[in-house]
Structure 1
């Protein structure tokens, strides 16, 4: 961005603010300080190449984001830079994000490539935040203890070091409707915190290698999930520890859609699956260890669509009029039993 941009104090729209990648160009182009007086920016702001900032504390404070009271959506992206000193990376990242505190009226925060281990305390002090999206914050190990009671959407992707999310955090997300976790390889459990999300509508887990959806951190099976009666859609994708449907799934009386993709160790659906009397759509793809359907499938009277693909043995058992499991599914109006993915 050209130097002098910060003089446009009445500017209303600035979608992208791009910092120079090359330090040699820093004197010719904008630093974060040019944002200081741009307090009339409306709607959204995307700040790119934050990884190029060296004086993290000073420059982030100079940006004065907290005074941009008309800002609704803020995206912060670090980018890729050749810095190998882990201590420097961590220190700069945390100091930078700490100083980029947004205004209290912010509704959506997106963070891409944050280099620190901990998020700043102000993250849980944004009273109007309804969406939080975190991508590729690969060093982050901990999530704030206290949540946001207006948050409706929480999305995390490629959080390679995140090990747990405190139950207190999930308990406080009283308005959460959409939860999406992708590629969190160290996350081991979300139980029992998950059961507190009484307004949750859509839940997705994708590529969580260590995640056990049946037990808590101590190995205890959590049974009471009757509070999740708003949940309508659940997706499991590449969850190696999913060997059968977790018992709490069977308590979701209003569940309408269940999708299970590429769960190599899934060996059985529950014999009590008939408890899901609101289930309308069941999709099972690339679950090669699943070899039969439970008897309870016959009593899923609301089920109108069933997809089975890349499940060789199960496909054979579900052959029309000839397969051993055909009688369990012959009442379903829309059957898609094919040897390929159908997204």
Structure 2
């Protein structure tokens, strides 16, 4: 099921597949070679040519083949192999009774053969794969009056649809390659007359044209269902009479209204004037049916689209709306009362720099009723937001105000409302200009963020200490902290019983985690209980860290202090397993103050498989304890001049300590390849560890 509740994929059980295969008998022929086209089995009605796999020996035809010609009885031909021009011409000349045709070709010379497709008068389904450089469909395609599905996968160079497309009166599904929609140039032009295809149900993208299909072409396409993306609304013309082009589309579930221009628009362009003058009227033309579940409004790069005053009434009629997105509305200052949408579960607001909110007073703030996902990005003035206590999925605040989150965390729980943010699982704070210490303290942790599993704090320049309320959840498993220039201290992360992954990067002022040391033993350091992966980059002053003896997956220390590592390797523990004995990957880079690796601790790394040492100019040698690393498969050393001299094959003083390692790479050169990885694999390892 997709996010709108529609069945998107299903799987067939192996036994059901075998049953269907046995019932089909000789009617279906599968082959891995296009040579089967030269001698089609006489009983075959459905032919599939795959890229690989196997030919089913049971389906070999004992009666010989059927001579090709106008009497060929094949009804379905699906070919996933690239066809040559001759093979494609052979199909279009001889398989004249086809109902379903899926063809693939990467040969540009084969495009000319497509003009013969108009001979397949009985065709219902036409799929074209891999025709990446084809700019125009053959004109003869409009002769396929029985065609119901036209599927163009990979037609990224297609410039326009056939001008006579209105003749395809039975066409129900016109599906273009959605992977190419990121660039407007890859969306073909819509010809006039497309609005006469009254049976059309699938039209994922409609491009408004100044010369071609206008917005009024959509009025008659009332059978449309699923998703509709109306692009280039900057070109839309406002009609002289009231026309509602979407109100009768009862089965439309997802709608995208995009004002982004297809090309650069100058200040004196007519499009600019028409957009600024008629944007409200055009938006009113696009008033959808209340059955709509997903709506996105995307403005233009020039800030010409401003949300009209009557938009609240427009949205309030969408009683079934589940997801709403507002993007690139550069001039809009106020939001409609989105909290009145009782079914709204997902809300995204992006790049609306002037947006302030929907409420002016600080008392009796409304709240979203069932919102499960909220993303606010690049909206620095957005402070007057309804609270969102019911979020149970992800909350993303990127370059926006922290006030809506603070107000939500301070909410008082009520009898009909769950504890605020008690179901939130994923929290991202990125580019926040407010001081993070504005967030409530640990006394709120009993009711807030108790289900939090992932926390990401990124590019937050204010605040000397991360609030403990963010890191107090007993379910928190992943923490990512990066590029917080002024951050000096972290909460006592070692108290998080579920923490499995910790990633800290680009925090030059960070000194460590704070905790209360025992007065009787000042040297006793706490340690993480179940941390399995630790990555620290570009944090040169990070020395006061809890120890991490239980790491299993990976340890990366790049341009940071190794005091915590040395202290961990030397720690005395009553545990059954020595510290770091389960670690499989260790990477040390850019640490000039590293002079040695403790031999006593190194001998415990018996599970280590990959060991990377890079840009450590002061590291002079590898100890004899390297012999204890019995699981080590790859040793990668680069830009460590002293160490490189001692690790030279057969000659270096440390060579006896590492000669047992199967794969050794020294400054890009493979000294050993006992695993038989070969040059390509060794090159892959060089790229991987570089």
- What TM bracket, shorter-length normalisation? 0.7 to 0.9
**Is residue 2:396 matched to residue 1:204?**
yes
Distance 1:330 1:145, change over 3 A: closer
More displaced stretch, 179-188 vs 244-253 = 244-253
Structure 2 counterpart SS, 1:122: helix
Mapped partners of 2:459, 2:306: distance in 1: 32
Structure 1 residues 83-134: Cα deviation after superposition (integer angstroms, max 9, x where no partner) = 5699975542222212211111111111111602336121122111111111
Structure 1 position 66 matched with structure 2 position 256: no
Gaps of 5+ in 1: 319-323
> Structure 1 residues 9-18 or 91-100, which shifts more?
91-100
Equivalent residues in 2 for 1:167-206, closer than 5 Å = 171=366, 173-190=368-385, 193-194=386-387, 196-206=388-398
Give the secondary-structure state (helix, strand or coil) at the position aligned to 2:502. Answer: strand
Specify the alignment match of 2:228 in structure 1. Answer: 45
Q: Distance in 2 between matches of 1:169 and 1:128?
A: 26
Residue equivalent to 1:141 = 333
Of structures 1 and 2, the one with the larger relative CO (CA 8 A, separation 6+) is 1
Between the aligned partners of 2:394 and 2:465, the Cα distance in structure 1 is: 23
Per the alignment, in what secondary structure is the counterpart of residue 493 of structure 2? Answer: helix
Could you say which residue in structure 1 is the equivalent of 2:351? 158
Q: With structure 1 as the length reference, what TM-score do the two structures score? A: 0.81
SS at match of 1:73: strand
- Determine the C-alpha separation between the residues in 2 that align with 1:186 and 1:8: 46
Deviation at 1:328, TM superposition (A): 5.0
In the alignment, which of 274, 277, 295 is matched to residue 109 of structure 1? Answer: 295
Paired residues of 1:223 and 1:247 also in contact (CA < 8 A): no
Give the RMSD, CA atoms, in angstroms.
3.4
Paired residues in the alignment total 320
| 1:208-236 Cα distance to aligned partner (Å, 9 max, x none) | 2x5445766xxx99464732211111110
Alpha-carbon spacing, 1:227–1:99, altered in 2? closer, same or farther (3 Å): same
In the TM superposition, residue 154 of structure 1 has moved relative to its aligned partner by 0.4
Determine the structure 1 residue equivalent to 2:238. Answer: 55
Larger Rg: 2
Between 1-10 and 296-305, report the one with greater CA deviation.
Answer: 296-305
1:78 aligned to which of 244, 259, 271: 259
Cα separation, 1, equivalents of 2:464 and 2:523: 15
SS at match of 2:370: coil
2:527 aligned with 1:334? no
SS at match of 2:356: coil
Unaligned runs of 5+ in 2: 1-189, 414-418, 514-521, 540-557, 559-690
Structure 1 Cα separation of the partners of residues 437 and 527 of structure 2: 19
Distance 1:181 1:329, change over 3 A: farther
1:33 maps onto 2:225 in alignment: no
Compute the displacement of 1:330 (Å): 3.7
Displacement after TM superposition at 1:304 (Å): 1.7
Structure 1 residue 201 displacement after superposition: 2.1
Instruction: State the SS of the aligned residue for 1:312.
Output: coil
Cα 1:271–1:19 change in 2 (3 A) is closer
Q: How does 1:12-27 map to 2 (within 5 A)?
A: 12-21=201-210, 25=211
Matched-pair contact (CA < 8 Å) for 2:453–2:475: yes
Separation of aligned partners in 2, 1:8 and 1:308: 56
Residues 279-314 of structure 1: CA distance to partner in whole angstroms, max 9, x if unpaired? 2211110112111223x3232212222111111242
Q: Are residues 52 and 333 of structure 1, via their aligned partners in 2, closer, same or farther at CA, if it must alter by over 3 Å?
A: same
| Cα separation, partners in 2 of 1:104 and 1:214, compared to 1, 3 Å | closer
Shift of 1:274: 6.2
Matched residue, 2:593: none
Question: 1: CA distance between counterparts of 2:468 and 2:333?
Answer: 38
CA contact (8 A) 1:189 1:211 kept: no
Pairing 1:248-263 to 2, within 5 Å after superposition: 250=445, 251-263=448-460
- Asked if residue 247 in structure 1 is aligned to residue 436 in structure 2, the reply is no
* Cα pair 1:317 1:326 within 8 Å, conserved: no
Q: 1:102 to 1:273 in 2, by over 3 A?
A: closer
TM-score normalised per structure 2: 0.42
> Does the 8 Å CA contact 2:208/2:215 hold for their aligned counterparts?
yes
Matching residue within 483, 487, 490 for 1:286: 483
Q: CA contact under 8 A between 2:244 and 2:284: conserved in structure 1?
A: no
What CA distance in whole angstroms lies between the structure 1 residues aligned with 2:266 and 2:342?
A: 38
Residue pair 1:34, 1:63 contacting (<8 A) in 2 also: no
Query: Secondary structure in 1 aligned to 2:220?
Result: coil
The answer to whether the Cα contact below 8 Å between 1:148 and 1:172 also exists between their aligned partners in 2 is no
Selected match of 2:505 from 286, 297, 309: 309
1:321 is matched with which residue?
Answer: none
Q: How many angstroms does 1:339 deviate by? A: 2.6
| Equivalent position SS for 1:267 | coil
How far did 1:57 drift? Answer: 7.1
Q: Distance in 1 between matches of 2:402 and 2:428?
A: 14
Change (3 A) 1:56 1:49: farther
